[in-house]
């Protein structure tokens, strides 16, 4: 709601710019005629102009970005142009001169219609409104362009269209005030023109700074940090540690009555669908639905995945629909090709809604990865579980709701019958003494290289002689960005003192996708039998894609160990450590 208020205010404040002056004759031309037959149709025409331009720009820009990476740079170039237009009124005038000329011709056509003596109607006023929208382009165009181009970078969506509608409504409200209140508003506007010009120039500087940040990769993960998912890592760790005890789960399972927690919200905000055409609450009515919020580099989600897959297979014939909602944590998890590859590699065959804009996340008011919601045949949410564990109780709820729906069920699953190997194996919580640790400077903790983090700039780092538990350091040349660190030299290393059975690290190859070889050491030696799935006994492995890599799985636990990973070529990207 706050974003819509801001968009509305942005539209309203465009009237404070000096280039509003050429529009005022259009606005006051109908001041002596009834507002409903003259002023209102004119404003509708102006809003219609905004809507058409917005639709074309958002859809076209979104197509370009989706088509290939070149489209992103085209969008950045347009964003730069709009930023300069905010700074330089003369440039804005040149860019929008064709639109202004068209607006002038439409205005003249409207005046000729009135001069013929035909009974006045709303058509000339609507035409005048379209002309007003075009003539106002030097003023509103750059700001509107910023909104549209940013929307193109993130992808066109229903929310984008609604934000643009709010912007247009704000602009129309400003002109309506000018039309209804007349000269008093005009005098007040003249006093505010200087302030409006400084606001306009400030916006221009901010836009150009944003372009520079995006071009340099400094914006990576911005959406996930601003959205709710980026703030729940600590809560997830608490869930892992403080989840319900087995005896509590048994007591919960004995309860036959399930409360109604809400209704299945709209699924229309998904940015893509995998393994299925788009689903809706209406199309799912009559089915029992299990919703699984996950993201493919999340270790907690990967450890829960075998159970979700087993339920999808076991109860499909009985009427269960499993719906995976993929809500990304890192920027690379927004790539549809990355998600498609992960769905294939993880053998996820049930429908997956890609929730890059977190629309479904917000619809459920969700806060966690993984999160499971069970919906009955009438579309009511009857149960939820956050984090790992609780699988027996979740299955008991699924069976109860299927029974209520009159379905015949196969025997219940035993947790021992579900294969949980590799990264899918449950964590050893008794030995777990290290938390999820982010490498990017936005959420980094316990970094101990002398001098600390130098954000967003190449820097040579060294490691201290000793590290305490859960402290880490870098050696070699690195660039630590907001959500990742990028190795700038061959031989760059990460050192971490940890206490856990398993050590995982979310990694990516260089920007061009070229694989990066690496070598892992444990207490200064090859890991041997303690190597993870993605390295051999000598500790050698290769980064081939952006995902979670299992680097250490110890055969014995109970003491702190020093982990070291050395990248044998530049360009490796490191995002976060997770443990199990």
Give me the residues paired with residue 323 across strands: 291
41 or 27, which is more confident: 41
Nearest to 371 by CA among 440, 308, 309: 308
Q: What is the pLDDT of residue 250?
A: 41
Give me the residues paired with residue 273 across strands: 353
Q: What is the pLDDT of residue 163?
A: 65
Q: What is the pLDDT of residue 182?
A: 57
Q: What number is the average pLDDT over the span 254-264?
A: 77
Q: What is the pLDDT of residue 430?
A: 87
Same domain, yes or no: 54 and 200: yes
* Dihedral over alpha carbons 237, 239, 242, 244 (to 10 degrees): -160
pLDDT digits (tens, 9 = 90+) for 299-318: 999 999 999 999 999 999 99
Same domain, yes or no: 507 and 365: no
Same domain, yes or no: 50 and 111: yes
Question: Among residues 402, 422, 442, which one ends one of the domains?
Answer: 422
Report residue 144 as tokens. 């509107």
Q: What number is the average pLDDT over the span 391-399?
A: 92
Residue 250: CB atoms within 10 A of its CB come to 12
Residue 377 falls inside a structural domain: yes
Same domain, yes or no: 512 and 443: yes
Same domain, yes or no: 383 and 441: no
Question: How many angstroms separate the Cα of 136 from the Cα of each of 92, 133, 172, 409?
Answer: 11, 5, 12, 65
Residue 510 falls inside a structural domain: yes
Q: What is the pLDDT of residue 514?
A: 93
Q: Which has the minimum average pLDDT: 190-199, 376-385, 434-443?
A: 190-199
CA–CA distance, 404 with 401 (Å, rounded to integer): 5
Name the burial class of residue 24, with classes exposed (0-12), middle (13-18) and buried (19+) by CB atoms within 10 angstroms of its CB: middle
Residue 224 falls inside a structural domain: no
Residue 221 falls inside a structural domain: no
Same domain, yes or no: 168 and 236: no
Q: Which has the minimum average pLDDT: 264-268, 397-401, 407-411, 548-552?
A: 407-411
Alpha carbon 449 to chain centroid distance?
A: 31
Contact 182, 34 (CB under 8 A): no
CA–CA distance, 500 with 550 (Å, rounded to integer): 13
Q: What is the pLDDT of residue 424?
A: 86
Range with top average pLDDT, 124-133, 405-414, 489-498: 489-498
Predicted confidence band of residue 272 (pLDDT cuts 50, 70, 90): very high
Q: Does 322 have pLDDT greater than 80?
A: yes
Mean pLDDT score across all residues of the chain: 76
What share of the chain in percent tops pLDDT 90? 47
Q: Does 121 have pLDDT greater than 70?
A: no
Same domain, yes or no: 255 and 393: yes
Same domain, yes or no: 395 and 285: yes
Residue 220 falls inside a structural domain: no
Nearest to 124 by CA among 111, 105, 136, 142: 111
CATH number of domain containing 291: 3.40.30.10
Ranges of H-type helices in 379-464: 391-404
Predicted confidence band of residue 85 (pLDDT cuts 50, 70, 90): low
Angle among Cα 322, 328, 330 to the nearest 5 degrees reads 155
pLDDT digits (tens, 9 = 90+) for 243-253: 444 444 444 44
Total domains present in the chain: 3
Predicted confidence band of residue 254 (pLDDT cuts 50, 70, 90): very low
Residue 143 falls inside a structural domain: yes
Residue 356: CB atoms within 10 A of its CB come to 22
pLDDT digits (tens, 9 = 90+) for 37-54: 555 666 676 666 655 655
| Domain that residue 70 falls in | 2-215
CA–CA distance, 21 with 77 (Å, rounded to integer): 29
Tokens 């979310």 belong to 506
Nearest to 552 by CA among 500, 509, 516: 500
Residue 446: CB atoms within 10 A of its CB come to 16
Count, in order, helices (H) and strands (E) of the chain: 17, 18
Residue 553 falls inside a structural domain: yes
Q: What share of the chain is helix, strand, coil (3-state, %, to 5)?
A: 50, 20, 35
Residue 426: CB atoms within 10 A of its CB come to 14
Q: What number is the average pLDDT over the span 99-104?
A: 54
Question: Among residues 406, 422, 438, which one ends one of the domains?
Answer: 422
Q: What is the pLDDT of residue 258?
A: 85
Range with top average pLDDT, 159-168, 346-355, 414-423: 346-355
CA–CA distance, 297 with 75 (Å, rounded to integer): 28
Contact 405, 288 (CB under 8 A): yes
CA–CA distance, 104 with 552 (Å, rounded to integer): 70
Predicted confidence band of residue 558 (pLDDT cuts 50, 70, 90): confident
Detail the DSSP E strand segments found in 83-207. none
Q: What number is the average pLDDT over the span 99-124?
A: 52
CATH number of domain containing 486: 2.60.120.260
Same domain, yes or no: 65 and 152: yes
336 or 160, which is more confident: 336
Same domain, yes or no: 243 and 210: no
The helix (H) or strand (E) run that includes residue 460 is: strand 458-461
Question: Among residues 215, 246, 269, which one ends one of the domains?
Answer: 215
Q: Which has the minimum average pLDDT: 16-20, 46-50, 374-378, 393-397?
A: 16-20
Q: What is the pLDDT of residue 320?
A: 95
Tokens 């995982």 belong to 504
Same domain, yes or no: 146 and 260: no
Name the burial class of residue 152, with classes exposed (0-12), middle (13-18) and buried (19+) by CB atoms within 10 angstroms of its CB: buried
Same domain, yes or no: 42 and 166: yes
What share of the chain in percent tops pLDDT 70? 57
Residue 567 falls inside a structural domain: yes
| DSSP character at residue 447 | B
43 or 288, which is more confident: 288
Q: Count CA atoms closer than 13 A to 575's CA, side-chain side.
A: 22
CA–CA distance, 336 with 273 (Å, rounded to integer): 10
256 or 334, which is more confident: 334
CA–CA distance, 160 with 65 (Å, rounded to integer): 15
Q: Does 562 have pLDDT greater than 90?
A: yes
Q: Residue 26 — φ and ψ, nearest 5°?
A: -65, -45
3-state secondary structure of 466: coil
Q: What is the pLDDT of residue 419?
A: 73
Q: What is the pLDDT of residue 253?
A: 42
The helix (H) or strand (E) run that includes residue 380 is: strand 380-386
Predicted confidence band of residue 17 (pLDDT cuts 50, 70, 90): low
Q: What is the pLDDT of residue 425?
A: 86
CA–CA distance, 320 with 323 (Å, rounded to integer): 10
Nearest to 143 by CA among 11, 288, 54: 11
Tokens 């702190």 belong to 560
């Amino acid at each position: 709601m706050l974003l819509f208020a801001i968009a509305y205010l942005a539209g309203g404040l465009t009237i404070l710019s000096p280039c509003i002056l050429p529009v005022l004759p259009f606005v006051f031309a109908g001041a002596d005629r009834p507002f409903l037959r003259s002023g209102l149709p004119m404003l509708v025409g102006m809003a219609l102009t905004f809507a058409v331009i917005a639709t074309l720009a958002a859809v076209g820009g979104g197509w370009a970005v989706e088509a290939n990476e070149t489209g992103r740079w085209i969008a950045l170039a347009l964003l730069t142009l709009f930023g300069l237009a905010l700074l330089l009124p003369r440039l804005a005038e040149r860019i929008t001169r064709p639109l202004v000329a068209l607006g002038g011709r439409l205005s003249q056509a409207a005046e000729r219609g009135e001069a013929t003596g035909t009974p006045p109607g709303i058509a000339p006023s609507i035409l005048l409104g379209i002309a007003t929208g075009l003539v106002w382009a030097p003023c509103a165009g750059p700001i509107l362009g910023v909104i549209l181009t940013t929307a193109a970078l993130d992808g066109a969506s229903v929310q984008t269209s609604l934000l643009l509608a709010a912007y247009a409504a704000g602009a129309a409200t400003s002109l309506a005030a000018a039309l209804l209140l007349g000269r008093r508003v005009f005098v007040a506007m003249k006093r505010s023109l200087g302030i409006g010009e400084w606001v306009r120039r400030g916006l221009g500087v901010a836009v150009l700074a944003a372009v520079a940040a995006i071009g340099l990769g400094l914006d990576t993960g911005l959406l996930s940090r601003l959205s709710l998912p980026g703030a729940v890592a600590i809560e997830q760790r608490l869930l892992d540690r403080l989840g319900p005890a087995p005896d509590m789960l048994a007591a919960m399972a004995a309860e036959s009555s399930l409360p109604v927690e809400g209704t299945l919200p709209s699924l229309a905000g998904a940015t893509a669908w995998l393994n299925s055409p788009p689903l809706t609450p209406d199309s799912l009515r009559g089915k029992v639905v299990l919703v699984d919020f996950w993201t493919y580099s999340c270790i907690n989600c990967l450890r829960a995945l075998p159970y979700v897959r087993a339920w999808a297979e076991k109860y499909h014939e009985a009427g269960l629909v499993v719906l995976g909602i993929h809500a990304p944590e890192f920027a690379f998890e927004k790539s549809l090709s990355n998600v498609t590859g992960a769905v294939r590699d993880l053998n996820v065959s049930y429908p997956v809604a890609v929730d890059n804009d977190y629309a479904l996340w917000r619809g459920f008011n969700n806060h966690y990865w993984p999160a499971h919601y069970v919906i009955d045949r009438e579309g009511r949410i009857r149960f939820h579980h956050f984090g790992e564990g609780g699988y027996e109780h979740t299955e008991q709820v699924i069976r109860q709701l299927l029974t209520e729906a009159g379905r015949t069920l196969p025997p219940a699953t035993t947790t021992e019958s579900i294969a949980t190997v590799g990264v899918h194996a449950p964590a050893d919580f008794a030995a777990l003494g290290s938390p999820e640790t982010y490498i990017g400077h936005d959420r980094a903790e316990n970094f101990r290289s002398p001098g600390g983090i130098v954000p967003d700039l190449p820097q040579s780092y060294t490691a201290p002689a000793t590290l305490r538990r859960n402290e880490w350091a870098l050696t070699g040349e690195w660039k630590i960005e907001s959500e990742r660190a990028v190795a700038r030299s061959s031989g760059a290393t990460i050192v971490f003192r940890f206490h856990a059975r398993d050590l995982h690290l979310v990694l990516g190859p260089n920007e061009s996708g070229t694989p990066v070889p690496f070598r892992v050491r444990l207490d200064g030696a090859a890991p041997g039998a303690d190597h993870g799935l993605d390295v051999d006994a000598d500790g050698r492995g290769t980064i081939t894609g952006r995902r979670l890599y299992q680097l250490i799985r110890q055969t014995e636990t109970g003491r702190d160990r020093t982990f070291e990973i050395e990248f044998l070529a530049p360009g490796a990207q490191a995002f976060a450590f997770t443990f199990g």
